[in-house]
Amino acid sequence: MTRYLLKIEYDGRPFCGWQRQENGPSVQQAIEEAIHSFCQEKVVVMSSGRTDAGVHAKGMHAHVDIAKSTDPHSLFKAINALLRPHPIAIVGVQEVTGDFHARFSCIGRAYQYRIVNRRAPLTFDKGLAWNVHRSLSVPAMRKAASYLVGSHDFTSFRAANCQAKSPIKTLDRLDVYREGQEIIIEAAARSFLYHQIRNFAGSLKEVGEGKFTPEDLKDILEAKDRTIAGMTAPSDGLYFMNAFYRDVSF
């Protein structure tokens, strides 16, 4: 039995999320079925994180144990061929030790949230970004984001059905910048609460519109009250960008 680490890219629009569910197709199911077709083994693909319906990934990581004699390059080619026509790509495969775990060995995760800030509706980016029509102030959003960096009780940005044992997390980075009509929010931490990034994005959007001041976001954080923070941004704009490990080459 050999354990392999996969780096995975996918468009989340056709899926009910990463995790297998009874109510629709999932990314996990599609990959497990592709591997089964290759090696005729029932496998479970364990990921570095989970994404909701409509959320995308450019660098999800997951491990899988395979008994069949193969190698990373052959596995890479086979899974990609068998995943067609799903909008999922395996962009890297690496053999890892048997005690490696995609979730528990992970030392950091990075997300990105995309806002297209224009009056015109989305065409090519429909379902791939949040279309915000009112002009947003990036300097105000960036200042507000700075108050959220560090170790805090993030109850104000935690979904009601979050299953984390504690609302306390350490946010290593939260950047906001503009590229033309697009505003990018980038976040990095060891782990996140459920909907934490989408709740950040919803509140930062309201700062950008002038509904909140940057200092209001600091007060909202300290209040530990989800009801006074901004909306939960739509799943369209959220991307799992990368998971980080020791001794992993991608």
Indicate which residues carry an active-site annotation: 52
Question: Three-state DSSP class for 34?
Answer: helix
Task: Please state whether 224 falls in left (phi above 0), alpha (psi between -120 and 50) or beta.
Answer: left
Identify whether 234 is preceded by a cis peptide bond (ω within 30 of 0). Answer: no
Are 203 and 229 a contacting pair, CB within 8 Å? yes
Q: Whose CA is closest to 85, among 11, 149, 188, 143?
A: 11
Q: Is the dihedral of CA 69, 72, 74, 76 positive or negative?
A: positive
- Cβ count near 34 (within 10 Å): 21
DSSP letter (8 states) at residue 189: E
d(CA 54, CA 30): 15
d(CA 54, CA 22): 16
Question: Three-state DSSP class for 164?
Answer: coil
